[in-house]
Chains A and B, each alone.
Chain A
C-alpha cells in the first residue's frame, strides 16, 4: 500500500496550507487521480460517500473505489485531454455498505504550470435528495415525504422546522411502521446540517462488540483482526446527523459512551487512548417504552433525560383516521407508476375494507397492502379479492364515519369467506399469515411469493427467518 501524500499549498497565504485538511472542507466527494486513473488522494466527503478509507485506496485504480456503472460501461477518463473542459454525467455507485447511490460525476484534467496533463480531478456528488425532490409529486398535506392532514400531523409539521434548527438531541417514539425513519430524515434536511452527512445506525442489528467499533471506530490492533484503524459512524457523521434507530436495544456499556458524547461531544475509539471531538447532532428512535426499560434497569435514566430534551411522538395510524384515504391514494399512485399498471382506483367494497382496517402495522403495513394489491390486480380497479386474505379474518373496530347508515349496517363479516376465523390478530401474526398465504399462492416459489408481497427476496428471507417459517 502506498503512503498517503501530505502536500502543501504555498502562495495562497503567508504560510503554507496543508492540502488535505483544505480538501476535507469541501462538502462533496473529491478525488485526485493519476494519468493512469489510479487514486492519488481523496477527501473525507468521498470517504463518507464510498465508505472506504483513503489510506487503503492510495494507488488503486479509480474504478475499484467508485464502483460506478460508468467504470464498466465506458470510462470517459481516457478521452479527457489537457485542454478538455469538464465532463459531467449521472451514474450510480455501490458503496461499502452495498448500497447503490445515484451520483453526478464531474471529471476535469489536471495540468501542471507548463500546461502538461498530469492527472484528473473527479468530483462526485450524492444526488439522492435531488432525485427524490424531482420525482416526488407536489402535494398538499405533506412535509417532505411524510403525508397526513390529521390534527396530530399538522401539529408535527408546525414544530419540526423549529426543532430541526436547534442542535438538541431528538427522541422519536412511536409504534413500528409509523414513519420514524422518515421523520429523522426530514429533520436532518430541515436543519442547518442538511448539507452534511446523515448516517443511520440500527442499534439492534449488531452484537455489542461489533456495534461499539461501528459507532466509535477502533485503533489498529485494538482486537484480533483489527489490522488497520477505522473511523466509526460518529466520525463519519461529523457536521451532520447521526440517526440511532432502535435506541432501546443499545447495550448498557454503550449507553455510557453515548452519554459521554452527549455531555462532552467527545468519542473514544476502541483501543485508542486519545479522545476526539466530533460535531454531530443525535436523533434517536425507538418503538419501545423507555420509561419502562428504565424501571427494569435496562436503560439508563440519565441517558433518557438527555435524549428526552425534544421528544416527538408519531401517532399510530388508527389515531389518524383522516390520513388513511390520503395514504391509500398516495401509495396507489406510486405503485401504479412504479409497476406500470393501468389501475385507476379502489372499488367501493375494497375501500370499505381498507378504511375499516385498524392497521396495527401502521403506515408500513398500509403501504405493503397497497403494494401487494397493485401487484396482484390485473384490472383497472382493485377489488376486495385483490386484497391480502388476512384483512378479512381480522376483527375491525376502525369504522369510517363517512359511510352512510346503510353501509354502517353492513358488517365486514360479509366479506369473510365461509368458515373464516374472526379472532383479533396482532400485527406479527397477521404478517406471518400474509407470508404463508403468498407462499401457498406461489406454490412454494419464494421469488414469486416475494413479488406477490411487493418485497425484495432478501426482505422475504429476513421475515421468514424472523417468524421461523421454514424454507
Chain B
C-alpha cells in the first residue's frame, strides 16, 4: 500500500527543528519502494501546528524529521503516524535509506 511521507526541510537537508521548518517535502512511496510525486510545500510561517494540520489534510503516513518536541511526537504517534525523529542527513540520502527500509530514528546519514 502506498505511503505518503513528509520531511521538514532546511535547504537540501532535514530541518534541525520540526517546529521551525518553513518548507516541507511531501512524497509518495509506492510498490516500487521509490519516493515519487515529490513536491515542496512552503509554509506561510514556521508553526508546528501548521505542519501537523498539513500532515492530516495531506493524509501523511510517515514523518521523517530531526528534533521534535515530545508533545508533537506523542500526538502524531497517537494519530497513527509513523515518526522517525533525530534523523540527520541530506534529503536524498535519507530518502534512499527509507526506500531501502534501512532508516531508524537517530540515524546520521551523511558524508564527513
Decide whether A and B are members of one complex: yes
Q: Measured between C-beta atoms, what is the minimum distance from B75 to chain A in Å?
A: 5
Residues of B within 8 A of A462 (CB): 74
CB contact list, A71-112 vs B, under 8 A? 71-73, 93-94, 96-100
- Give the complex CA separation of A63 and B66 in angstroms: 10
Closest to B111 in A: A59
- Give the complex CA separation of A156 and B88 in angstroms: 47
**Contacts A60-B110, A64-B88; is A97 near B70 (CB within 8 Å)?**
yes
Asked if A67 contacts B70 (CB within 8 A), the reply is: no
**Contacts A57-B108, A96-B86, A98-B85; is A69 near B74 (CB within 8 Å)?**
no
Which single member of A56, A71, A461 contacts B108 (CB below 8 Å)? A56
Q: Mark A46-59, 1 if CB is under 8 A from B, else 0.
A: 00000000001101
Asked if B69 contacts A94 (CB within 8 A), the reply is: yes
Residues of B within 8 A of A12 (CB): none
- Give the complex CA separation of A71 and B46 in angstroms: 14
Which single member of A60, A69, A96 contacts B20 (CB below 8 Å)? A69
Residues of B within 8 A of A71 (CB): 16-17
Residues of A within 8 A of B66 (CB): 64, 67
Residues of A within 8 A of B88 (CB): 60, 64
Residues of B within 8 A of A135 (CB): none
**Contacts A60-B88, A98-B85, A461-B74; is A72 near B112 (CB within 8 Å)?**
no
10 residue pairs bridging A and B, Cβ less than 8 Å apart: A59-B112, A64-B66, A67-B16, A69-B17, A71-B17, A96-B106, A98-B73, A457-B71, A458-B70, A458-B71
Interface contacts beyond A1-B112, A67-B66, A98-B67: sample of 15 additional A-B pairs, CB < 8 Å, sorted by A: A56-B108, A60-B110, A64-B16, A64-B88, A64-B108, A71-B16, A71-B17, A72-B17, A94-B67, A96-B106, A98-B85, A457-B75, A461-B74, A461-B75, A461-B78
Range for the number of chain B residues in contact with chain A: 20 to 34
**Contacts A60-B110, A64-B88, A461-B75; is A94 near B15 (CB within 8 Å)?**
no
The reply to whether the CB of B10 lies closer than 8 angstroms to some CB of chain A is yes
The reply to whether the CB of B68 lies closer than 8 angstroms to some CB of chain A is yes
CB contact list, B56-112 vs A, under 8 A? 66-71, 73-75, 78, 85-86, 88, 106, 108, 110, 112
Which single member of A68, A72, A457, A461 contacts B15 (CB below 8 Å)? A72
**Contacts A64-B66, A458-B78; is A2 near B112 (CB within 8 Å)?**
yes
Which single member of B10, B16, B20, B68 contacts A98 (CB below 8 Å)? B68
CB contact list, A445-471 vs B, under 8 A? 456-458, 461-462
Q: Measured between C-beta atoms, what is the minimum distance from A49 to chain B in Å?
A: 13
Which single member of B16, B70, B86 contacts A63 (CB below 8 Å)? B16
Residues of A within 8 A of B20 (CB): 69, 72-73
Closest to B10 in A: A72
Asked if A100 contacts B69 (CB within 8 A), the reply is: yes
Count of CB-CB pairs between chains A and B under 8 Å: 61
- Give the complex CA separation of A138 and B108 in angstroms: 46
Q: Measured between C-beta atoms, what is the minimum distance from A456 to chain B in Å?
A: 5
Asked if B75 contacts A98 (CB within 8 A), the reply is: no
Residues of A within 8 A of B10 (CB): 72
The 7 closest A-B pairs by CB, nearest first: A67-B67, A458-B74, A98-B70, A94-B67, A59-B112, A72-B20, A461-B78
Residues of A within 8 A of B46 (CB): 72
- Give the complex CA separation of A235 and B53 in angstroms: 40
Residues of A within 8 A of B68 (CB): 94, 98
Q: Measured between C-beta atoms, what is the minimum distance from A270 to chain B in Å?
A: 18
Residues of B within 8 A of A56 (CB): 108
Q: Measured between C-beta atoms, what is the minimum distance from B33 to chain A in Å?
A: 22
Residues of A within 8 A of B110 (CB): 60
- Give the complex CA separation of A68 and B17 in angstroms: 8
- Give the complex CA separation of A59 and B112 in angstroms: 6
- Give the complex CA separation of A462 and B69 in angstroms: 16
Residues of B within 8 A of A59 (CB): 112
Interface centre among A60, A63, A69, A96 (most CB of B within 10 A): A63
- Give the complex CA separation of A88 and B79 in angstroms: 40
Closest to B70 in A: A98
Closest to A63 in B: B16
Q: Measured between C-beta atoms, what is the minimum distance from B94 to chain A in Å?
A: 12
Closest to A227 in B: B104
Residues of B within 8 A of A458 (CB): 70-71, 74-75, 78
CB contact list, B1-58 vs A, under 8 A? 10, 15-17, 20-21, 46
Residues of B within 8 A of A2 (CB): 112
Asked if B17 contacts A67 (CB within 8 A), the reply is: yes
Q: Measured between C-beta atoms, what is the minimum distance from A425 to chain B in Å?
A: 27
Q: Measured between C-beta atoms, what is the minimum distance from A339 to chain B in Å?
A: 17
Residues of A within 8 A of B15 (CB): 72
Residues of A within 8 A of B69 (CB): 94, 98-100
